[in-house]
């Protein structure tokens, strides 16, 4: 199975509206679906899924075992959507038009018809579905010792959500208790390894589009979500390596390193490409999307390529097809997000003004102050300046400074506002690595270079590729404590220089 013509002839036009209804041809295909399994033999695997309580489109199942040599054996089984939906069929054409599922708190708009995404292809509890399984063995140093991918049949023996997970996690008598505990242990190790490489803690594996609005799902950070996030990130990394090692043309997920950002228009967001470059947020050289073929077009494309490889058959998509699909997906997803953000801003402004009229401008609940600042900056500064400044100043010193504050500091054009934010940020200047990671994640033009030796410490701050300031100090002290103090002082001065620079920049923009 491969394409006789370029995919360019079949790519649908870009649509900015997200519609729930499917074309009649796609619905007819979904209703008479015949999987017609071509796998010579599928290995039976089983165990658990973890997702939202209300989720119906479950596409990943997991299993973990600690071996006798103390290595960890992990299986991640993903719904084999590629076996059911063939290229250039009506459902596939519509999936290329949508590129992704979109999730709200009250409902979702799926990429493929619901009777497939929420039933026949979903890994529902006590069902058996066709899957592609990545098996990974990690040694005692938590490095990948061995990996393989094979076609399988997965039986979901326990359907967990982020709440009922705790019952078995805390019940030592439960048959899954030990496995769940080991899963959590492995997830925390994988997370620490990423953080050691200065990965960004954004608490999300980019599995679905998440939009910052009360009507959209918000990622829930807890033990269960940690497990799924880390296992999916690991599988996406290893699937990218698998494709590279086996010369499989696949779509990669990149977030450009700082030295190349100034030459790339999509640098402020992760993007799809036929080449592996780097994913800065994950501190990963190899990263693709593989784990959500029910929800994302790119994952489905990559599944098809991998399936052809393990069957020793010709790849479906050529390198040029991969480039075209990646570029198409970037545009579609970007247009969807732009449209949705406009809706979100309008919703928040209406909520804000209703609250102002009802309660008076200084009695708005504390939980809204973030949105007050964001909307003030993003929506042509429609809010009164003194209202925003008062809410910033009212933040308790004990409150953690989030990335939204850093972003608004960098984006604001009003000295009065950024100086108020600056005073709050200075309370957290000792959290140097967190601050630097957050700055790098929220503004693509910023880069911090740090060099520490036994005798010297240096920090250099770059903006838009130009050196702005450099702080350094000789370390001629006998104790580790004195060395640590020297490093801290240089870092503190660097943070001070960064924010003073942006205060001056804001004055120029006024």
The three-state DSSP-derived secondary structure of 132-167 is EEEEEEECCCCCEEEEEEEEEEEEEEEEEECCCHHH
**HSE-CB of 439 using CA atoms within 13 angstroms:** 24
> Has residue 366 got a pLDDT over 90?
no
Mean pLDDT, the chain, integer: 79
* Listed residue (332, 329, 202) closest to 272, CA to CA: 329
Taking each continuous run of H as one helix and of E as one strand, the counts in the chain are: 16, 12
What CA–CA distance (Å, rounded) separates 383 from 347?
Answer: 15
Determine the pLDDT at residue 36. Answer: 75
Q: What is the mean pLDDT of residues 351-376?
A: 53
Average pLDDT of the residues in 444-466: 78
- For residues 374-386, average pLDDT: 57
Residue 12 has pLDDT above 70, yes or no: yes
Q: What is the dihedral of CA 363, 364, 366, 369, to 10 degrees?
A: -130
Nearest to 495 by CA among 401, 417, 415: 401
* The token pair that represents 53 in the structure block: 């309580």
Tokens encoding 188: 């925390």
**H, E, C per residue of 407-469:** HHHHHCCCHHHHHHHHHHHHHHCCCHHHHHHHHHHHCCCEEEEEEECCCEEEEEEEECCEEEE
Whether pLDDT at 87 is above 90: yes
* pLDDT bracket for residue 198 (50, 70, 90): low
Query: Which of 154-163, 216-225, 242-251, 443-452 has the lowest average pLDDT?
Result: 216-225
* Partners of residue 273 on adjacent β-strands: 252
**Listed residue (66, 152, 407) closest to 268, CA to CA:** 407
Examine the pLDDT at 391 and tell me if it is beyond 70.
no
CA angle 497, 498, 502 (to 5 degrees): 110
């Amino acid at each position: 199975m491969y394409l006789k013509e370029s995919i360019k002839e079949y790519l649908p036009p870009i649509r900015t509206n997200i519609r729930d209804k499917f074309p009649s041809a796609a619905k007819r295909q979904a209703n008479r679906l015949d999987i017609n399994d071509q796998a010579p033999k599928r290995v039976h695997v089983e165990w658990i899924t973890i997702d939202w309580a209300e989720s119906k489109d479950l596409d990943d199942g997991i299993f973990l075992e600690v071996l006798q040599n103390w290595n960890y054996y992990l299986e991640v089984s993903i719904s084999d959507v590629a076996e059911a939906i063939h290229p250039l069929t009506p459902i596939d054409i519509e999936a290329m038009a949508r590129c992704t599922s979109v999730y709200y708190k009250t409902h979702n708009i799926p990429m493929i018809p619901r009777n497939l995404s929420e039933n026949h292809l979903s890994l529902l509890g006590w069902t058996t579905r066709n899957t592609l399984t990545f098996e990974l063995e990690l040694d005692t140093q938590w490095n990948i010792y061995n990996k393989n991918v094979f076609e399988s049949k997965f039986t979901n023996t326990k359907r967990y959500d982020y709440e009922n997970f705790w019952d078995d996690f805390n019940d030592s008598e439960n048959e899954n208790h030990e496995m769940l505990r080991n899963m959590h242990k492995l997830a925390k190790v994988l997370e620490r390894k990423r953080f050691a490489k200065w990965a960004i803690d954004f608490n999300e594996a980019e599995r679905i589009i998440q939009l910052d609005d009360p009507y959209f799902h918000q990622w829930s950070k807890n033990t269960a979500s940690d497990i799924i996030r880390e296992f999916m990130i690991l599988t996406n990394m290893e699937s990218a390596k698998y494709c590279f090692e086996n010369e499989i043309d696949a779509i990669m997920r990149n977030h450009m390193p700082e030295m190349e950002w100034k030459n790339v228009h999509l640098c402020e967001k992760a993007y799809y490409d036929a080449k592996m470059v780097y994913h800065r947020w994950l501190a990963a050289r190899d990263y693709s999307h593989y784990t959500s073929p029910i929800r994302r077009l790119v994952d489905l494309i990559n599944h098809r390529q991998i399936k052809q490889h393990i069957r020793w058959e010709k790849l479906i998509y050529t390198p040029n097809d991969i480039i075209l699909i990646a570029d198409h997906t970037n545009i579609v997803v970007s247009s969807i997000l732009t449209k949705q953000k406009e809706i979100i801003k309008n919703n928040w402004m209406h909520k804000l003004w209703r609250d102002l009229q009802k309660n008076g401008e200084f009695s708005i609940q504390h939980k809204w102050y973030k949105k007050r600042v964001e909307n003030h900056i993003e929506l042509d500064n429609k809010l009164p300046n003194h209202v925003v400044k008062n809410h910033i100043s009212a933040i308790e010193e004990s409150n953690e400074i989030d990335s939204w504050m850093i972003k608004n500091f960098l984006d604001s054009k009003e000295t009065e506002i950024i100086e108020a934010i600056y005073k709050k940020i200075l309370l957290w200047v000792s959290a140097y690595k967190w601050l630097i990671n957050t700055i790098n994640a929220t503004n693509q033009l910023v880069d911090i270079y740090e060099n520490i030796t036994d005798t010297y410490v240096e920090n250099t701050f770059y903006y838009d590729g130009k050196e702005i300031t450099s702080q350094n100090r000789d370390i001629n002290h006998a104790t580790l404590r004195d060395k640590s103090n020297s490093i801290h002082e240089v870092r503190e001065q660097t943070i001070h220089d960064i924010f003073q620079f942006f205060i001056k920049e804001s004055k120029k923009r006024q």
